[in-house]
Amino acid sequence: MDTVNVMSRPDEHTKMITSVNQTNNETCVNFEISPISDLLVGIYITALVLGLVFNLLTAWPIIQQIRRKNVLGVYLLNLSISDVLYILTMPLWIIYYYNDHNWKLGPDLCKLAGFVYYSNMYISIYLLCCISIDRCLAVTFPLKTKTFRRFRYAWIISGVIYIFTASLHILVILMDKVTDPLDKHGRCYETFPMTERVALFNLLRVVIGFLLPLLVLAVC
């Protein structure tokens, strides 16, 4: 008799399993109960204040280097500009984390913040590589590299880095989603699961944005 009752109500059993699965899915993407938001807010506020202070302190020495047409000054100036642009996105992320990973500033501003944030992060990494290579060549081959270490060339290289990195990160705007279908809250570059294209793009960024620069810095 009990067997008949169980077999005669498969729909209720299926609904119960589906409900449990949906609950589990929502729990996986629920950042609201995570204490990490407060930690991130503190870290970002500290980085914002210190970043602005130190970039202001280095502004005058960098200007002096530019006036002397020093190659290193070009890279340092562009690095400082990139850092400031990166830092200026932090108030948006502070608001985001303060609201427990709930983006309330609209999808367009999310895409712009993500584009500026990620682009300038990698621009800074590449410029650090340029500084490392320049210093290595200047010390190791001071006479041979004098022809190539030109003020104008440093500007061209910096421009290429900006254009290449910004062009690559246009895909950040086109590919990623702002709204997570498994969550009622608005997310900003925290949607799960990732599509295959986004996962491959992130893997590419890790290789050319971290592993290759790490190799360059280690060698130089």
3-state SS of the chain: helix, strand, coil percent to 5?
Answer: 75, 0, 25
Which domains does the chain carry?
36-219 (1.20.1070.10)
- pLDDT tens digits, residue range 23-69? 444 444 444 556 777 888 999 999 999 999 999 999 999 999 999 99
For 123-154, the pLDDT digits (tens) are: 999 999 999 999 998 888 888 887 788 899 99
pLDDT tens-digit readout, 192-201: 667 777 778 7
pTM attached to this predicted model:
0.76
- Output the pLDDT for position 164: 92
Give every CB contact of residue 198 below 8 A, 6+ residues apart in sequence. Answer: 175, 176
| Strand partners of residue 135 | none
Measured CA to CA, the distance from residue 3 to residue 217 in angstroms comes to 69
How far is 67 from 81, CA to CA, in rounded Å?
Answer: 17
